[in-house]
Amino acid sequence: MPILSKRNGQDERAALFPPELLAHFDDDMITSFDLFEEYVSRLALVLFRTTGLEAACSSATSVPGAIARAGLVPEQARLPVSWILALLATRDWIVRESGVDGEIRYRPGRTLPVLDPEEVRAEQQAHDPRCLPAYDISALAAAHYPDVLNGRINGEQALFGEAGIIPWVKYFSNDNPLYDISNKVGALAAAQAGAAGTEAILEIGGGLGSGAIALLDHFESIGRTAQIGSYTLTEISPLFLKRAQRNLAAAIHVAHFDSRRSTSTSRSHWPESRRAAFPWSTASTCCMSRGTWAKPWRNCVARCAIAACWS
């Protein structure tokens, strides 16, 4: 099917993307992206019903009001409920309106549809099964939303439970087009931002190392590998760190950094070559602190790092 803008019915990609990015946003990629958006919207619709939010929004109410009516734990539910209600409103499944006091409220609109997320997953399977890890992570989160919003478990228990790290390994992979696209864009941006001389790169929240791999592969493809003097990748999760070490050790030197010590003590254990300033820095991946869905960065202390260099 043609890829057309909902704004004007035209294919606007050539006007929106620079030439070096345009090839990565082909029809197959856009179709997968649209399918995934539909899948997530349908999951949100299911959660609207299973978490008690549908009954809570039977008359106009704010996000805090909906949380209270549904009997959810405010500390756990505020951001997820805000997202669910806002998403459903963009689909016109519920109505978003601003009260005289300026507070946003949500109320019923037309009759809610009954839509099966698995129908979309089947479409994705037929179109490009490489994208299915994104569906698996979303389904994993959705399955635990009711327990998390009711305070019975926390985010870490939900997302790193029986399945462990395996769903994350499959999702945070350059074999998954829905995730790989961000690494491709990041690698192109790094190449454009880089100066002509040798550089030190710091990656914050490097996860399993897929972003580093994409950047290194891109620099190799354009003949600029020698430009990278050093590469330091930080990661808060020990589980992710181990896998990143495994993914990257064959190509680069790996060193360990433990910031559970004081900052000054920790830095003294870094090689001299790592103590220089980093002209480049890139933040990748979101951090999830123990027991929460999200916390400010000041509470997220990177426990270890991979330091890489080329001779």
Domain boundaries, the chain: 13-170, 180-309
Work out the burial of residue 256: count CB atoms within 10 Å of its CB; fewer than 13 is exposed, 13-18 middle, 19 or more buried: exposed
pLDDT band at 258 (very low <50, low <70, confident <90, very high): very low
**Residue-wise pLDDT tens digits, 15-54:** 888 888 888 999 999 999 999 999 999 999 999 999 999 9
pLDDT band at 310 (very low <50, low <70, confident <90, very high): very low
Cα dist from 189 to 64, 176, 214, whole Å: 40, 20, 12
What order do you get walking across the sheet with 304-309 strand by strand? 280-283, 199-204, 228-235, 304-309
User: Would you state the pLDDT for residue 230?
Assistant: 80
Q: How far apart, in whole angstroms, are the C-alpha atoms of residue 106 and residue 54?
A: 10
Tokens of 101: 């006091």
Calculate mean pLDDT across residues 286-293: 31
Q: How far apart, in whole angstroms, are the C-alpha atoms of residue 292 and residue 125?
A: 32
pLDDT band at 231 (very low <50, low <70, confident <90, very high): confident
pLDDT band at 251 (very low <50, low <70, confident <90, very high): low
Q: What is the pTM of this model?
A: 0.79
Calculate mean pLDDT across residues 183-209: 83
Average pLDDT taken over every residue of the chain: 79
User: Would you state the pLDDT for residue 260?
Assistant: 45
